[in-house]
Amino acid sequence: YILLEWVAIESDSSNVLKRPDLHHMMEKAAQKLRLMGGMVELVDIGQQELPDGQTLALPKVVTAQFGSDPNKRTVCIYGHVDVQPAKMDDGWATDPYNLTDINGNLYGRGASDNKAPVLAWIHAVEAYQALHMELPVNVKFIIEGMEETGSNGLEDMIVAQRDIFFSDVDYIIISDCGWLSRRPALTYGTRGNCYFFAEIEGPKQDLHSGVYGGTVIEPMTDLIGILDTLIDPNGKILIPGIREAVAPLSDEEWKMYQDIQFDLENYKNKIGVDQLMYNSKVDLLAHMWRYPTVSIHGIQGAFSDHGTKTVIPAKVVAKFSIRQVPNMDPAVVKKQVNVKNRTFLSLKSPNKLKVTMVIGAKPWLADTQDPVFEAGKAAIKRVFNVDPDLIREGATIPIARTFQDVTGKSIIMMPIGGFDDGLHSQNEKMSRYNYIEGTKYFIAYLHEVSLIKKTSV
Ligand SMILES: CC(C)C[C@H](N)C(=O)NCC(=O)O
């Protein structure tokens, strides 16, 4: 029932009009943890500056603590309760904000990304409480509301809390990703993300393409010229310097990918395509996880409705992103993209160009030999009776690398999302099986992690 209540809140962090819902969501998460007896704080992380210069209050970050026994290990669970946009018009079969159970799958925006996994951790603590069993470790939570837009404000808070909230934390756990197949997985790497807005402004208002076409230099034509210099249709990145920065694929890594069970046909069926960019498993996994890619997401201001409006849009904004990997750096990527000098100047256009990098999240990579991974394997074995896949994630958890760099703690990603959950897409879901067994797995993990000897840190 609580998942239904949480999904009903349209906590879309990318839509400024939904900010009150997001504040409400943070209050709701805090209230739940308070009712369980946690020591809860709602931490003010300041204001967000919008591209137009206006400011807006960021959603507060919820921290909570259950237990403070110095003789026990302390884990910190990170999660987020903001979501990506969703509307029926996008092609959802059910109302995205009304959690709907169909054949054992719970459909709703944010069900898998990341409300049910956050709740599964909460239920794990509740299970110990309900059984009147002492928690084997101290458990802390840090829950944010801006993950989907780059975790604005969280880095500063982590830096400020490094010697306070994080001082006694041994391990940070993130469950905000998915398995690769039906086999449970542990995740040891994520790609980073640099997200850009490229705005081109021309005439002072939209124009009739018949009346003015052929007389003005159209912003949209300039913009398409710019986008065409980012990536070719075969996936080759055209921005100089990007491919050269990528850490080479080692033999050991190649062997790891070889050993992963992954069916290309299933993958094609899942996403509904006849052909993929690569035909071999290793190539595909490598390009999903450890090579960069460029995606063009949309053009704001362009005519995109039904019908045949014959318009010359006056101002258009392209949205594109670059998923980056070790050894790339967002600050360097920002310079490399450089569409102004690389492309725009050669167009000799009188239109105005403005490029902004609105997200600059670094990639993250962990050492799978760390005892936290051994504890994860043992918990998976106990609940699912299989050995997990050790996988990377092509998407981004912006704060993962900050946790690593600022706190110096070990980080593990323990997904419970299914491979077909449809994150960010239509009909996102979380299966009842993954939600329930995932909760059992988290309960088992708290036990396993308590067994890690203090000396092995
Ligand atoms: C599968 C991802 C790591 C889930 C995460 N919540 C996410 O969507 N991050 C933002 C992104 O664009 O990768």
Atom of ligand 1 at shortest range from CA of 80: 6
In eight-state DSSP terms, residue 16 is G
Give the span between the Cα atoms of 247 and 77, in whole angstroms. Answer: 30
Nearest protein CA to atom 11 of ligand 1, as residue: 396
How many whole angstroms from 390 Cα to the centroid of ligand 1?
Answer: 18
Residue 345: CB atoms within 10 Å: 11
Give the ranges where 241-344 is alpha helix by DSSP (H): 242-245, 251-259, 264-271, 281-289, 330-337, 339
Q: What is the pLDDT of residues 12-49, one digit of tens each?
A: 999 999 999 999 999 999 999 999 999 999 999 999 99
pLDDT single digits (tens) 375-413: 999 999 999 999 999 999 999 998 999 999 999 999 999
The residue whose CB lies within 8 Å of the most ligand 1 atoms, and thus the one to mutate among 82, 401, 424, is 424
pLDDT tens, position by position, 352-373: 999 999 999 999 999 999 999 9
Is the pLDDT assigned to residue 206 strictly greater than 70?
Answer: yes
Cis before 114 (ω within 30): yes
Q: What residues act catalytically?
A: 82, 147
- Output the CA angle 62-68-74, nearest 5 degrees: 75
pTM, full prediction:
0.93
How do residues 275-301 score in pLDDT, each as one tens digit? Answer: 999 999 999 999 999 999 999 999 999
- The full set of domain ranges for the chain reads 2-190+363-450, 192-247+290-361
Q: Where are the alpha helices (DSSP H) in 290-396?
A: 330-337, 339, 345-347, 371-384
Q: Tell me, what's the pLDDT at 51?
A: 76
pLDDT exceeds 70 at position 267: yes
Q: How confident is the model at residue 455 (pLDDT cuts 50, 70, 90)?
A: low
Give the nearest ligand 1 atom to 191 CA.
Answer: 13
CATH superfamily of domain region 2-190+363-450: Zn peptidases (3.40.630.10)
At residue 53 the predicted structure's pLDDT band, cuts being 50, 70 and 90, is confident
Do residues 362 and 330 touch, judged by C-beta distance below 8 A?
yes
Please tell me the distance from the alpha carbon of residue 60 to that of residue 39, in angstroms, as a whole number.
Answer: 16
Number of Cβ within 10 Å of residue 409's Cβ equals: 18
| Burial grade of 306 (CB within 10 A; 0-12, 13-18, 19 or more) | exposed
Protein residue with its CA nearest to atom 8 in ligand 1: 148
Which residue out of 12, 112, 118, 148 has the highest number of ligand 1 atoms within 8 Å of its CB and is therefore the one to mutate?
Answer: 148
Q: How far is CA 456 from the centre of its chain?
A: 31
Q: Is the pLDDT of residue 79 over 70?
A: yes
**Model pLDDT for residues 113-123, shown as the tens digit of each residue:** 999 999 999 99
* 192 Cα to the center of ligand 1, angstroms: 10
CA of 177 to the centre of ligand 1 (A): 7
Cα distance between residue 9 and residue 287, in whole Å:
35
Whether ipTM > 0.95 holds is yes
Cβ–Cβ < 8 Å for 346, 168: no
Residue 156 has pLDDT above 80, yes or no: yes
Let me know: does 46 contact 146? Beta carbons within 8 Å: no
Number of H helices, E strands in the chain: 16, 20
pLDDT tens digits, one per residue of 213-265: 999 999 999 999 999 999 999 999 999 999 999 999 999 999 999 999 899 99
**Collapsed DSSP state (helix, strand, coil) of residue 393:** strand
Summarize the confidence of residues 82-107 as an average pLDDT.
97
Ligand 1 site, CB within 6 A? 113-114, 147-148, 176-177, 190, 193, 393, 395-397, 423
> Using CB atoms within 10 A of its CB, is residue 67 exposed (0-12), middle (13-18) or buried (19+)?
middle
Q: Is the separation of the CB atoms in 8 and 98 below 8 Å?
A: yes
> What DSSP string describes 171-234?
EEEE--SB-SSSS-EEEEEE-EEEEEEEEEE-SSS-EEHHHHTTTS--HHHHHHHHHTTTB-TT
For the sheet containing 429-431, what is the strand order? 100-102, 105-107, 429-431
Looking at per-residue pLDDT, the higher value among 371 and 455 belongs to 371
Place of tokens 């990145």: 237
Which residue has the least CA distance to atom 9 on ligand 1? 396
Q: Which of 78, 146, 176 to mutate to test the pocket of ligand 1 (most atoms within 8 A of CB)?
A: 176
* Confidence check: pLDDT of 454 > 50: yes
Class for domain 192-247+290-361, per CATH?
A: alpha beta
CA of 403 to the centre of ligand 1 (A): 16
Please count the residues of the chain: 457
Q: How far apart are CA 278 and CA 286, in angstroms?
A: 10
pLDDT surpassing 90 at residue 187: yes
Closest ligand 1 atom to Cα of 321: 12
Q: How confident is the model at residue 456 (pLDDT cuts 50, 70, 90)?
A: very low
- Find the 147 Cα to ligand 1 centroid distance in Å: 8
Q: Compute the distance from residue 47 Cα to the ligand 1 centre, in Å.
A: 23
CA distances from 421 to 270, 277, 342, 418, 454 (A): 10, 22, 39, 5, 37
d(CA 351, CA 349): 5
Q: How far is CA 2 from CA 129, 149, 275, 326, in A?
A: 17, 25, 41, 39
Residues 6+ apart with CB under 8 A from 139: 65, 66, 67, 74, 75, 77, 125, 446
